[in-house]
Chains A and B, each alone.
Chain A
């Protein structure tokens, strides 16, 4: 299963690197532009469950890494095969300055809130996303808070600890 998938992927796409670190995991690294095509291909192969879109800030390499984690639903009602145990992590790295990426809502409709969240917490702009409005945050932050150079402890000291206590003023 895994090896045939690997061969298929390698035969179809050129600029990708494939690693199989353990029995049930395939890690595919691709260029930015290739990602939608690979996602579409994998979806047609039966990996139809986009479990998660995540981002990792590799500050030392000066890049942000997007991870698409794909697993598969069952084909029938109750047949469990090796396919369901498998998960694919599709990675692509984008620069930290003015990061942008093409939205994948057209392929996986459930990508919408994940992309919104990543836009908010990592500052990656998803082109073509219909609704990049704030999802979780209320305050505005200079640096998106999940980037590694955003120091939450420093931020707390600078913002919340500076607000004076009313009870002390009273006395």
Chain B
């Protein structure tokens, strides 16, 4: 740790701690999960950067959505995402969450993940290499530094639209809204 970092730690401890302690939800959403074990084990060792998988979403602050999202998974993803405490960051891994990828015409996968939950960054490719995850992590660090990793704020702000899209894709949701989907007061809280 050089001197520069110490001043940064003193100035904004929350930001720095968020950066260097990204605990990922372990959720095998798609085939991208095959590259996560190499990343967290000895070949690439993501723990060097503080990226560790944790057991429950309550303990996590990074959600790596690894691969295509089928409609059934989307329900689980939304529930998991809403359980995570703020601040939380989401990264879409692989081409499929971006625009459907090679499943663009499948009747059971959703095509654009960012219509349903907000995304901080994308890793394109099928399958992206493990190095791409590290690039994404370092990129996320810069975003956090510049206060641009604000997906969870956007989610709060546009919750009404997100909730509407979720209901369009999944039908009636069985859990109550996370934030009030009130009328005019929406968005003014910020």
**Which A residues form the contact surface with B (CB < 8 A)?**
136-141, 145, 150, 152-153, 155-156, 159-167, 169-170
Contacts and interface: CB of A to CB of B under 8 A. Distances in A.
Interface residues on B, range: 20 to 34
A68 B170 CA distance: 34
A142 to B, nearest CB: 11
B161 A169 contact: yes
Contacts of A139: 71, 108, 170-171
B71 A167 contact: no
B79 to A, nearest CB: 13
B131 interface: no
B175 interface: no
Given A138-B70, A166-B162, A169-B161, A161 B111 contact: yes
Interface in B72-121: 72, 75, 104-108, 110-112, 114-115, 118
Given A138-B70, A166-B165, A152 B106 contact: yes
Nearest to B104: A156
Instruction: Indicate the member of A159, A163, A166, A167 with the most B CB atoms within 10 Å.
Output: A166
Contacts of B168: 162-163
Contacts of A153: 105
A145 B107 contact: yes
A167 B114 CA distance: 8
Contact of B75 (A138, A159, A165, A170): A138
Given A138-B70, A138-B75, A160-B169, A166 B107 contact: no
Nearest to B75: A138
Given A137-B72, A155-B107, A169-B158, 11 more contacts: A140-B171, A150-B107, A153-B105, A156-B105, A156-B111, A162-B168, A163-B169, A164-B161, A165-B114, A166-B162, A170-B158
Nearest to A169: B161
A163 B169 CA distance: 8
Contact of B158 (A137, A152, A159, A166): A166
Contact of B165 (A141, A156, A161, A164): A164
A169 B160 CA distance: 11
